[in-house]
Structure 1
Amino acid sequence: MRMRHAVPYIALAAMVLSMPAMADPPDFDRPGAGFATSVLPAGGVALEQGVPDWSREPDDSGALQGKYTADSLFRVGLGGPVELQLGGSAWNHLYGDGEHRTGHGDSSVAMKVAPSTNGDFSYAVLGQVTFDNGTHDIGNGARQYTLGTTLGWKLQGDRQFTVFANLDRLQGSNTWTLAPVYTVPLTDNLQGYVETDLIHDGQDGNEGLAGGGLALKLGERAQADTFVLHRVGPRGAQWEAGLGISVYFGRL
């Protein structure tokens, strides 16, 4: 990652750290498989930003290519158990096989519902539509429909176990994902997690990724994160990794 891409996000983090503290910061959807089993309060706004995320996987011809992407996710609480999410990536860079391409990715709109639950169990459901408006060879090439859920259990010692199940439908093909995630607190402000992503692609067959990451609380309104995943098996992405920052701006 070149520093000119990092400077705006460093400035954003510094601004957020100077904000007044709040009593109950929200759960962020980054990092890890799935999403938080809670929504923002009515009028609450958050930004979750990759700075950037990176992957290395085979293209249609089987040659390995790398991709940097600055994924952005805007979250807006609509009241009750409902949240609106707008996603996209204004900057992407593909490289490999002697070629370099830069452009923007597809954009998406999603609704998340997280019914209130009692005890140590919680869950949320998210439906998303991703539009085919990205730069050629960077976007999906067609509209994609997604339906997913995260189930969460609180364990002793502030540990947590979640299971993420997801279905993507793209160009008449279904991709199923099942990902268990185990999270443990390491300090008052730092938590770590491990995950395994089990994927069945309707066109490419079974894939798998395993790895983990860290999330560092920055004051009461922000979080920095990092993660690394490696391929398990002969198919799928060889590596996925990234850095990110998430900011809660409060109720606007």
Structure 2
Amino acid sequence: MTIPNKIIMMLAATVSMSSFAAEFSFDRPGAGFSTGITPVGQVAWEQGLPSASYRETTVEGAKAKTVTLNGDMLLRTGLASGLELQLGWAGPTWTQTKYKGEKVDDDGLGDVSIGLKKAIDLDDDKLSMAVLAQAIIATGNEGFSNEDDIYSLGTSLDYQYNDLVTTGITMNYAVQDGDWSVTAIPTVGYKIAGNLSGFSEFIYHKAESEDYQYGLASGLIYALNDRTQLDGSIGVDLEGQDRSYNAGFGISFLF
């Protein structure tokens, strides 16, 4: 069975599961995804303004510092009760690298993605679950693309502990050019005051023939109204000797 056929079967499997329309929620911010499904006939637009990363590494005894900015975006629309279609784009990206007194700028366009997210009925008022089958298509420019397509199947589980605290975990299994990887993202969400809330997450990633990767992230979410939210987040990678940080600002609309 070819990899494209595998992703088609994963997409079909998510459609065949029982339907449960969880309360809508945006997927931004955070590395995982929410259990909420976009209502039928409506569109959610989630836009980075932008996302940013900074990496400092040592090459031949000299430090190389790289700053990256990109305007990633995600469109979500409801196809049926408990089922949505996702179309994503890594967006335009700009990088600047400083090494041995020289500065190099570069820019390009990233990959696109398509996915289906299905809510799963757990028959529990406090528990919600969703499954996301996704394909990232390597259509981006050289140096701004994953080079090979990535096919993944992820699950997200949320537990409403009380009116102030929510816990959850996202598990994602992906294959790229025959190599498998797994990512686990436990998350805590918490109300702060009024329409302001926050989240914290731990990111664990392991790919074949690669070292373990770890990260921490935290952020704030402000709901302007039922259809619009602003978000900001910052994170740090914990593995290895290199310094690596990421941050992001975003805005999301439900039309």
Structure 1 90/195 Cα, relative in aligned 2: closer, same or farther at 3 Å?
Answer: closer
Which residue of 174, 178, 181 maps to 1:172?
A: 178
CA RMSD of aligned residues (A): 2.1
Structure 2 Cα separation of the partners of residues 122 and 165 of structure 1: 14
Note if 1:161 corresponds to 2:172.
Answer: no
- Within a 5 Å distance, the mapping from 1:130-141 to structure 2 comes to 130-141=136-147
Structure 2 Cα separation of the partners of residues 196 and 146 of structure 1: 20
Instruction: State the partner residue of 1:231.
Output: 237
Higher relative contact order (CA 8 A, sep 6+): 1
Letter in 2 for 1:116: D
- Within a 5 Å distance, the mapping from 1:179-190 to structure 2 comes to 179-190=185-196
Note if 1:122 corresponds to 2:120.
Answer: no
Note if 1:193 corresponds to 2:212.
Answer: no
What is the SS of the residue equivalent to 2:163? helix
**1:124 Cα deviation from its structure 2 partner:** 0.5
What is the SS of the residue equivalent to 2:77? strand
Instruction: State the partner residue of 2:74.
Output: 73
What is the SS of the residue equivalent to 1:205? coil
Q: Is the 8 A contact 1:208 1:235 kept in 2?
A: no
**1:64 Cα deviation from its structure 2 partner:** 4.6
Structure 2 Cα separation of the partners of residues 104 and 79 of structure 1: 32
Structure 1 Cα separation of the partners of residues 168 and 43 of structure 2: 24
Structure 2 Cα separation of the partners of residues 236 and 204 of structure 1: 16
Instruction: State the partner residue of 1:144.
Output: 150
What is the SS of the residue equivalent to 2:131? strand
Letter in 2 for 1:193: F
Structure 2 Cα separation of the partners of residues 25 and 152 of structure 1: 12
Structure 1 Cα separation of the partners of residues 241 and 138 of structure 2: 25
Structure 1 132/33 Cα, relative in aligned 2: closer, same or farther at 3 Å?
Answer: closer
Letter in 1 for 2:54: R
Structure 2 Cα separation of the partners of residues 234 and 85 of structure 1: 34
**1:25 Cα deviation from its structure 2 partner:** 8.1
Letter in 2 for 1:170: Q
Structure 2 Cα separation of the partners of residues 108 and 48 of structure 1: 14
Shifted more, 237-246 versus 41-50: the winner is: 237-246
What is the SS of the residue equivalent to 2:93? strand
Q: Is the 8 A contact 1:196 1:209 kept in 2?
A: yes
Q: How high is the TM-score relative to the length of structure 1?
A: 0.83
Q: Report the structure number with the largest CA radius of gyration.
A: 2
Q: Is the 8 A contact 1:190 1:215 kept in 2?
A: yes
Structure 2 Cα separation of the partners of residues 189 and 242 of structure 1: 20
**1:237 Cα deviation from its structure 2 partner:** 7.3
**1:162 Cα deviation from its structure 2 partner:** 0.6
Which residue of 100, 107, 121 maps to 1:102?
A: 107
Structure 2, unmatched stretches of 5+, are 1-21
Structure 1 29/166 Cα, relative in aligned 2: closer, same or farther at 3 Å?
Answer: same
**1:236 Cα deviation from its structure 2 partner:** 7.7
Q: How high is the TM-score relative to the length of structure 2?
A: 0.82
- Within a 5 Å distance, the mapping from 1:40-55 to structure 2 comes to 40-55=38-53
Q: Is the 8 A contact 1:46 1:246 kept in 2?
A: yes
Instruction: State the partner residue of 2:214.
Output: 208
**1:99 Cα deviation from its structure 2 partner:** 1.9
Q: Is the 8 A contact 1:106 1:131 kept in 2?
A: yes
Letter in 1 for 2:53: S
**1:40 Cα deviation from its structure 2 partner:** 1.0
What is the SS of the residue equivalent to 2:38? coil
Note if 1:243 corresponds to 2:249.
Answer: yes
Letter in 1 for 2:120: P
What is the SS of the residue equivalent to 1:233? coil
**1:244 Cα deviation from its structure 2 partner:** 0.4
Q: Is the 8 A contact 2:173 2:182 kept in 1?
A: yes
Structure 2 Cα separation of the partners of residues 65 and 201 of structure 1: 23
**1:66 Cα deviation from its structure 2 partner:** 2.4
